[in-house]
Structure 1
Amino acid sequence: MSAFWPAFHFLRPEWLWALLALPLLGAWWRVRRRRDNAWRDHVDAHLLPHLLVRGGARARTGLVAAILAYVLAVLALAGPSWRQADQPLWQAQRPLVVVLDLSSRIAAPDLPPSRLLQVRAKLARLLDARAGSPVALVVYADDAFTVAPLTDDAANIRLYLDELSPEIMPVDGQRADRGIAWATRLLSQADFRNGDILVFTDRANGDASRAASDARATGYAVSVLGIGTSNGAAYRSSDGTIGHAALDASSLRALATAGGGRYAAATTDNTDLAALGVASPALETVGTSTTPGGGKAWRDEGYWLLIPLMALALLWFRRGAALVLVGALWLPVASPARAAGIDWWQRSEQATHARLEEGAKAYRQGDYPAAEKAFAGIDTAEGQYNLGNALAKQQRYDDAVAAYDRALRLQPGMADAIANRATVDAARKRPPSPSDGQGKPGEQGGGEQASSGAKTDPSDGKNPNRQQDDAASQEASTTSSGEPGKAQAPRSAAPQRTPPEASPDPAAQAAADAAQRERMRAAMGEQGGQRTGKTPPEGAAVQAETAEQRERRQAVEAWLKRVPDEPGALLKAKFRLEHERRQKEGQ
């Protein structure tokens, strides 16, 4: 109590001047009350006190209540304070979308050993410099595709660096305008009002400059990192022709000017990234504390005076006693309710967002059962998508596929859910390899899932922020674009993402594939024997094959070889399917 009075003060003391109006208001009320009494105009003043029945105590009580209510209101507006509380310094990291030119020109060797290898190394250093800040990767040739949506986990992007090459692109070309437009879309879908787009290329045209201008008008700065040398070098295009690729610095400077960003030529160190201002994540201050304590601020305790003020206001109603009693009883109930996690003032969408945030936090910490519990019951596409990711991480593939199906029913065409469902569905159909250990109780087997995001993207992300995590099998991890994660951190949650798990042992995987082929050959041999009326001896190898059996076996082996088992193959298949879908839809 001794420390209370020295610390007590008003945050807005100018409101105390309103107390000076209290005598004037009292005089006005008294004059008005006398005028409202019609008997004063018809009865002599010395007889009036003996004829009127005054309110007595009731009138005086009303006057006192009005005065007290006025004083409480003024004191509440003045902001009484006697203690400090921690004041968080809210800061948001500026997102970055890297747009990489993967046309056949990227293979030119004017940056030894090649432009592509230099770009991979540059991307690795950029990801290290921006650890913990939102980053996305978009590649383009004739069209643009998302490799990784916006994610705080650089490991999700680093997984694909060695797989970046012109071979994964469905059609060759150099449409930088489509890459910039796609990056703008990822940032917009992730609800970022500001952000950076960094283009890796050797030349640009007018269409790219117009796309950069549109991105700048949206709030995103477009910078350019020039890849190559002015002398250039020969390269082989996808159709086998030989071309010459040289750095066109003037067109790239025009592109950066149109996008409101900077231009720098690629160097062997980080000076180019520093010149572009992307070597470290930029911070945008959303709110800060200017109090002497730095991280503390005086708390406005005036809201406590609103409780008795509202109780006094109820006295002006004829049947207000019951309401006053209910209000008094509510006070001891409100705190336990909030302590129990019940917030009576939250809207339904706010409660859903809080659950998504809780699930995203548990997901990032690896507590997938807790993430499943938080996402369960959220009847939105984002909620079911994130539930599928959490179930896939627990190797509950059937339940994960069902969750993805529910997300697709709520939002048809959801790219992240489609990609993750296909990957998880393939993982659950694959036979367990000999290297697989004993699964956890209740797991359905198969490889550990790896996540994005985010949107991450786009992503991106709804991301928290459509910020989204991709569920992908350990044998065939993939990251898809949402829009973002938002793959995204769990959508609207911001997520942020967990790095994919390590790939299984190649030797063990090869042994598993060989065992699977042998089982398929034995099954085909048994089916062929049943058709011809011949049943091979049990446990004996099939020595002779019919033409039909040999044809079926070769078809199965060819199909098994076509199944992608590496990130590069997955990206190539994903981009091809996306390109075919866009062509069909006329995009």
Structure 2
Amino acid sequence: MLENYSFAHPQFFWLLVFIPLAIAWYVWKKPKQLASVKMSSLQGFKATSSILPKLKPILFVLRMLAIAAIITAIARPQIKEVSSRIKTNNGIDIVMAIDVSASMLSRDLKPNRLSALKRVAAEFIEGRPSDRIGLVVYAGESFTKTPITTDKNIIQNALKDIKYKHGELEGGTAIGMGLATAVNRLKDSKAKSKVIILLTDGVNNTGFIEPQTASELAVEYGIKTYTIGIGTNGMASTPVALNPDGTILFRNMQVTIDEELLKNIATTTGGKYFRATNSEKLAEIYEEINKLEKTEIEEFRYTNYEEKFRLFVLFAGILLLIEILLRKTLFRSFI
């Protein structure tokens, strides 16, 4: 609470310098305020042990405290509460089309391509709080994992749930199908900017929609596509079959990515092609896309002030009232 406490006119605190001066003046004048009578002997007077003369400075203390409280009130103490409202002027709708074919289990990225992708994609999603994001997965066919939404918890949970499941999708890599499904999720979007991030580690070898046709659909609906080819240059430990116990058999095989196709898709739709040969490069690619696709955000800040000077005025009034009552009662014989 104290960090929100402020004073509208702090310059009035300079008036507090008069309090030490008043104290010095009081100390200097105090001996002269008491009358004295010279007598040859006090034997005929009865001595008293009243403590009231020693307590009389309380009156001065009360008045100084009251003055300090009044000065504080003049400085206008207040509690400042700042609230903000964010308005997205140029929201972006993004669909991430992710290849989940068996080759995405290759171990050239650690621990494998799919796991590395999910980790980096999760960070990308977290960094886009004002955008709507959806997920499409594809192998030999494609389907929507999550429609575009602003609920990042839904997206993150759906992303974590993406895994290779033998028999869930047809074998192969249908890049055209994956791109077409992503276009279908964005075609009716009213966002000023619509983006697809399409990731694959292979070549288009199945599906009934050609990648070029899907690219033309993206252009028709004003959808930009960033394509990412994932996989090292050379050999990679790649799944080739299932062992009798159901585990996956890996062998070193040549990485094959249709880079020309991915470049054409990106060029046709106004996007950009990237090649991720390791986990670090993949993270850099998502960071670059994050910079290329900026969301315009306008922040409105509202400040509410709650005045607190009344408490100090009340406190000063109580102190002055106490001083007056003491002067008129206990200390009236000293006035």
TM-score range, shorter-chain basis?
0.5 to 0.7
Q: Do 1:134 and 1:151's aligned partners in 2 also have CA atoms closer than 8 Å? A: yes
Question: CA 1:148–1:218 in structure 2 vs 1: closer, same or farther (change >3 Å)?
Answer: same
Q: Which moved more, 1:197-206 or 1:90-99?
A: 197-206
Q: Do 1:102 and 1:166's aligned partners in 2 also have CA atoms closer than 8 Å? A: yes
Q: Partner letter of residue 90 of structure 2?
A: A
Secondary structure class of the residue paired with 1:91 = strand
- Quick one: distance in 2 between partners of 1:89 and 1:125? 23
Which of residues 215, 225, 230 in structure 2 aligns to 1:227?
Answer: 230
| Partner of residue 582, structure 1 | none
Structural mapping, 1:262-341, within 5 Å: 262-266=272-276, 267-268=279-280, 270-275=283-288, 277-279=289-291, 282-283=294-295
Q: Do 1:94 and 1:134's aligned partners in 2 also have CA atoms closer than 8 Å? A: yes
Larger helix proportion of the pair: 1
Residue 146 of structure 1 and its aligned partner are, at CA, apart by: 1.1
- Quick one: distance in 1 between partners of 2:90 and 2:130? 11
The one of the two structures with greater contact order (alpha-carbon pairs below 8 A, sep at least 6) is: 2
| Partner of residue 185, structure 2 | 186
| Partner of residue 327, structure 2 | none
- Quick one: distance in 1 between partners of 2:165 and 2:100? 9
Question: CA 1:155–1:239 in structure 2 vs 1: closer, same or farther (change >3 Å)?
Answer: same
Residue 176 of structure 1 and its aligned partner are, at CA, apart by: 0.9
Q: Do 2:124 and 2:287's aligned partners in 1 also have CA atoms closer than 8 Å? A: no
Q: Do 1:137 and 1:147's aligned partners in 2 also have CA atoms closer than 8 Å? A: yes
| Partner of residue 148, structure 2 | 150
- Quick one: distance in 2 between partners of 1:183 and 1:177? 10
- Quick one: distance in 2 between partners of 1:90 and 1:100? 27
- Quick one: distance in 2 between partners of 1:89 and 1:160? 27
Secondary structure class of the residue paired with 1:200 = strand
Residue by residue, what CA displacement relative to the aligned partner does 1:288-341 show, whole Å, maximum 9, x if unpaired? Answer: 9xxxxx99xxxxxxxxxxxxxxxxxxxxxxxxxxxxxxxxxxxxxxxxxxxxxx
- Quick one: distance in 1 between partners of 2:259 and 2:191? 30
- Quick one: distance in 1 between partners of 2:163 and 2:88? 40
Q: Partner letter of residue 290 of structure 2?
A: V
- Quick one: distance in 1 between partners of 2:194 and 2:187? 10
Structural mapping, 1:508-527, within 5 Å: none
Residue 179 of structure 1 and its aligned partner are, at CA, apart by: 0.9
The alignment's C-alpha RMSD in Å is 3.1
Deviating beyond 4 angstroms after TM superposition, the runs of 4 or more aligned structure 1 residues are 237-244
Which of residues 98, 117, 120 in structure 2 aligns to 1:119?
Answer: 117
| Partner of residue 262, structure 2 | 252
Q: Partner letter of residue 246 of structure 1?
A: T
Question: CA 1:204–1:236 in structure 2 vs 1: closer, same or farther (change >3 Å)?
Answer: closer
Residue by residue, what CA displacement relative to the aligned partner does 1:13-45 show, whole Å, maximum 9, x if unpaired? Answer: xxxxxxxxxxxxxxxxxxxxxxxxxxxxxxxxx
1:211 aligns with 2:214: yes
Percent sequence identity over aligned pairs: 24
Q: Do 2:135 and 2:146's aligned partners in 1 also have CA atoms closer than 8 Å? A: yes
Q: Partner letter of residue 260 of structure 1?
A: G
| Partner of residue 100, structure 2 | 102
- Quick one: distance in 1 between partners of 2:272 and 2:220? 16
Structure of higher CA gyration radius: 2
Q: Do 1:229 and 1:246's aligned partners in 2 also have CA atoms closer than 8 Å? A: no
Question: CA 1:170–1:218 in structure 2 vs 1: closer, same or farther (change >3 Å)?
Answer: same
Residue by residue, what CA displacement relative to the aligned partner does 1:351-393 show, whole Å, maximum 9, x if unpaired? Answer: xxxxxxxxxxxxxxxxxxxxxxxxxxxxxxxxxxxxxxxxxxx
- Quick one: distance in 2 between partners of 1:248 and 1:229? 13
Larger strand proportion of the pair: 2
Structural mapping, 1:454-493, within 5 Å: none
Q: Partner letter of residue 130 of structure 1?
A: R
Secondary structure class of the residue paired with 1:174 = coil
Structural mapping, 1:416-565, within 5 Å: none
- Quick one: distance in 1 between partners of 2:152 and 2:201? 25
Residue by residue, what CA displacement relative to the aligned partner does 1:51-90 show, whole Å, maximum 9, x if unpaired? Answer: xxxxxxxxxxxxxxxxxxxxxxxxxxxxxxxxxxxxx976
Q: Do 2:90 and 2:193's aligned partners in 1 also have CA atoms closer than 8 Å? A: no
User: If the length of structure 1 is used for normalisation, what is the TM-score?
Assistant: 0.31
Residue 154 of structure 1 and its aligned partner are, at CA, apart by: 1.5
Q: Partner letter of residue 106 of structure 1?
A: M
Residue 248 of structure 1 and its aligned partner are, at CA, apart by: 4.1
Residue 147 of structure 1 and its aligned partner are, at CA, apart by: 1.1
- Quick one: distance in 1 between partners of 2:241 and 2:145? 21
Point out where structure 1 has 5 or more consecutive residues left out of the alignment. 1-87, 289-293, 296-587
